[in-house]
Each structure stands twice: as C-alpha cells, then as structure tokens.
Copies of this chain bind each other. A is one copy, B any other.
Amino acid sequence: MEKPVNMILELVVTMGTEFLNIMDPEDVEKIISDLPFRAKIEKISLEKAHKRVVAEDVYATINLPPFSRASMDGYAVKSENTFKASEDKPISLKLLEAVGAGDVPVKRIENGTCTEVSTGAPIPEGADGVVMVESTEKTDVTTDEDVTNEILIYESIAMGQNIASEGSDVKKGELLLKKGTSLTPDKIGVLSAIGQVEVPVYAKPKVAVISTGNEVVVPGQDLDYGKIYDINSRTISDAVKTCGCMPIHSEIVKDDYNTLKNKINEFEDVDIIITSGGTSAGAGDVLRTVMDEIGEVLVHGIAVKPGKPTLICLIPGKTKKKILFGLPGYPVAALMVFYIFVAPFLRKAACLKVDSNVPKFNLKLSRRYRPARGRSHNVLVKIEGDTAVPILKDSGAIASLAQADGFIKVPKNIEILEKGSMVEVLPFETS
C-alpha cells in the first residue's frame, strides 16, 4: 500500500525544521564582527573617487607651491631696498614689467627696480619680497623720448614677505593622505593639487541581493492573485550602496531547493550574498536546508523583533569564503535587520567608519510602549514635533514604512517605556 500523499508528507518533514539556537543580539553582533573579510585595492580615476577610501599612503610627487609665488597683488622687490621706506617718506623703484598669474617673469630684479605681480604670479629672480599694492603708488616719469613708470613704496617689508616660496606648503615626498582617509571633496582637492588623476582605493565589496519567494513578482508586471510585488531587492540594494558596497541585482528566486542552491552558486565572484525571505521555520523554507548542505550556519534565529528568523552563514569557495545574510521576507523586518546587523559589517568591509554618522535624534516617546518579553524590540517611529510616535503595525505592513522616520531600539530587559521617556531615534538614512 503506497498511500501517504507525498506533498503532505514533505510538509510534515519541513515543518519540523526548528531554529537551532536563538541568540541574543549582542552575541550575533560579536559573531558578525569576527566574520572574515579581506578588502581589495584598485586604482580609480579621481573623477570617481568621491566618498571612496584611500588604500595606500599618498606622498607628494611635487612641491607646493611648485614655484615661489606672490601671495598678494603688489610689487616684487629686493626687501633691503624698502628698509628706509615709510608712510611719509616713500622710496621710488623703477617698474621693469608686469607679471600675471600663469606668466613667466623675464627680467631680473636689481637694486632700484621692481616688477608688478598679481597674486599667484611667479616671483622674478632677484626679488625676495612683495610690497602689497595698497602700500604703493604709481607715477610716471617723463624724459625726452620716454615715459618710465616709477613705483612709490610706502612700506618697509621683511625678507620673504607676501611670498609663498616653493615647497613651503607641501614638500615633494611628504606624506599627504594616510591610508584610510575618506575622499571627501577637500581630500580630492589635495590629490588634484599634486596633479594626480588616479588614486588607490579599497574596492567596493560586491554584494548579491536576492529576493526569494514563489509569491514575489517584479514591480511593473501584472499582479496575479496570490502574488505581491518584490520590495526587498530595491530597498536592500539602495541600502547596500550607502554602505560603500556595490549591489549586484539578481532575478527573483523561487522557494525551491535546487533553484536557490544554483543561484547562490552562480554568484561565485561576489563577496557577500544577502537574501530575503525563506528563513522562517515553516513550510516552503529552503534556504536553511541549502545552507546546511553547501555552507556553515553561524546564526539562525536572533532574539529580536522583528527579525527573529535571520540566518548568517559562511559559504566556502575556490578562493575565499563568501558570507550570506538571510534576511526575513517582510520588508520592515528585512530593513531593520539590515541596518542593525548587516550595515555595520558592510561598512567595515568597505573600510568606511563603522558608525554611519547618520545623526540620531533624542526625542520623547509620545505614548507608553510595552514590549513583549524576552526579546529586544526595534520599533518604527514617526517624528512629530519633539516626540517619537511608535508605529505599532506588524512587520509586513507597508503603511508603517510610508510613515516612519526611523526606529528606536528597546533592549530585552525593558518591561515598559513610559510616555515621555527619552528615546534615541535612528533614521534609516538621510540625504
């Protein structure tokens, strides 16, 4: 008698899959911070270097300024010629030429002569100071056949005054930017100053982003009965970008053992795989089974709400171990687990500062909040004036995402948060 209905038998078996070991968030954070990752280095053009991180110390390849230049508009002189000059007793110098920024001086300054220089102009040979234009006056001396410009100097200047001498700012060979420097516009300016067009930076870790589920379809397609649009591919990809990593989009994968296994194996080149869906201990969940076969499960189950069924695994590969984060399928849960557990790791892998620097707000809770016992809670909130209003919908709700300005963390030992308690609101991101 071959009686048992196969389909139902299979369900009985898979429904037996249980979380092996629900871990506290702190223990999971420790496991994540110990995950192996080796950053690669690449050379990229300065045009694309904004927000990247310098991977090798950068030394100056030229002097800055590259030549001695005037730091004021005025007249280049021999400073000793001005020693007797004063407001009521100017001395007179013969004007040789005028040199603008970008020009090359032709004439050498001898005693009794000067050259007009603009800010940034090279200092003529023989000069050792610049009298600023405000301390001078131009006069014409007319002889039989000629008009000569004479400059009256009303100020005595010191040697080197108003000159930025070659290398006084940066000396060739000097350390300019340390490895690990974040390439904000000012630092990119430093590289431009020495004429660099490329810079060695840490390569962006490649992160495959896979939505799983038989019910999930790509936005823009028709929505058949029983189906929902894919949300997590897009949200997680965008969130991956803000962590300095490169998301690699995947087609949606059915909750089927072979399909999922093949898809994961397809991403041989990536560093990290983030899936969403297929992690609960329920029917149709195959990620855990695939991971038990091809990887090593480090975490399956975190004592946090939402986000309990999260999976973290190592997958051996030809050259390196890949890391897999299996996020829950519900978008709110997926995003929260991403921001709390995954983002710090991605930022570290990208060699960014681990703290995202998104400013946090300290606000008053608008109403009493009592978490369920035994788990840490992360609660979406909406900011209204100086209060944080908890959004108490389940993590499948989209309306809550539409309203949320961020979330608060409620540790597991908290039994009640009274109305008016100060809470720290963590925005998902800002721009």
Q: From residue A301, how far is it (CB to closest CB) to chain B in Å?
A: 15
> Within 8 Å of chain B (Cβ to Cβ): is A56?
no
- How far apart sit A221 and B331, CA to CA, in the bound complex (Å)? 50
> Within 8 Å of chain B (Cβ to Cβ): is A418?
no
**Cβ-defined partner of A280 (8 Å) among B119, B219, B233:** B119
> Do B282 and A185 touch across chains, with their CB atoms under 8 A apart?
no
Chain B residues within an 8 Å CB radius of A4 = 140, 147
* Given A12-B138, A64-B398, A101-B215; A192-B73 close (CB under 8 Å): no
Chain B residues within an 8 Å CB radius of A15 = 73, 133
> Within 8 Å of chain B (Cβ to Cβ): is A197?
yes
* Given A15-B133, A120-B228, A352-B431; A238-B147 close (CB under 8 Å): no
Chain B residues within an 8 Å CB radius of A219 = 46, 191-192, 195-197
Chain B residues within an 8 Å CB radius of A404 = 186
- How far apart sit A269 and B242, CA to CA, in the bound complex (Å)? 31
Contact residues, A113-145 vs B (CB, 8 A): 116, 118-122, 133, 138, 140, 142
Q: From residue A283, how far is it (CB to closest CB) to chain B in Å?
A: 4
Which residue on B lies nearest to A181, using beta carbons? B402
> Do B192 and A230 touch across chains, with their CB atoms under 8 A apart?
yes
> Do A228 and B65 touch across chains, with their CB atoms under 8 A apart?
yes
> Do A235 and B192 touch across chains, with their CB atoms under 8 A apart?
yes
- How far apart sit A195 and B220, CA to CA, in the bound complex (Å)? 5
**Cβ-defined partner of A71 (8 Å) among B12, B182, B185, B394:** B394
Chain B residues within an 8 Å CB radius of A118 = 282-284
Q: From residue A140, how far is it (CB to closest CB) to chain B in Å?
A: 8
> Do A104 and B62 touch across chains, with their CB atoms under 8 A apart?
no
Give per-residue flags for A180-195: 1 if the beta carbon is below 8 A from chain B beta carbons, else 0. Answer: 0010111111111111
> Do A331 and B235 touch across chains, with their CB atoms under 8 A apart?
no
Contact residues, A202-233 vs B (CB, 8 A): 213-216, 219-221, 223, 225-233
Which residue on B lies nearest to A240, using beta carbons? B185
> Within 8 Å of chain B (Cβ to Cβ): is A248?
no
Chain B residues within an 8 Å CB radius of A196 = 219-220
> Do B214 and A331 touch across chains, with their CB atoms under 8 A apart?
no
Contact residues, A385-431 vs B (CB, 8 A): 393-394, 396-399, 401-402, 404, 427-431
Q: Which of these binds chain B: A26-34, A169-177, A313-321? A: A169-177
> Within 8 Å of chain B (Cβ to Cβ): is A158?
no
Chain B residues within an 8 Å CB radius of A431 = 51, 182, 184, 244, 352, 357
Chain B residues within an 8 Å CB radius of A20 = none
Q: From residue A26, how far is it (CB to closest CB) to chain B in Å?
A: 25
> Within 8 Å of chain B (Cβ to Cβ): is A369?
no
> Do A331 and B11 touch across chains, with their CB atoms under 8 A apart?
no
> Within 8 Å of chain B (Cβ to Cβ): is A103?
yes
> Within 8 Å of chain B (Cβ to Cβ): is A164?
yes
Chain B residues within an 8 Å CB radius of A284 = 100-101, 118
> Within 8 Å of chain B (Cβ to Cβ): is A88?
no
Q: From residue A197, how far is it (CB to closest CB) to chain B in Å?
A: 4
Q: A101-B213, A187-B402 are in contact. List 19 more A-B contacts (CB 8 A).
A: A12-B138, A46-B219, A66-B223, A71-B396, A73-B283, A101-B226, A103-B226, A104-B225, A118-B282, A119-B329, A122-B226, A177-B402, A184-B427, A185-B429, A188-B234, A188-B235, A192-B234, A192-B235, A197-B220
* 8 nearest A-B pairs in the assembled complex, by CB-CB distance: A102-B214, A102-B215, A73-B282, A189-B235, A101-B215, A197-B220, A185-B238, A185-B235
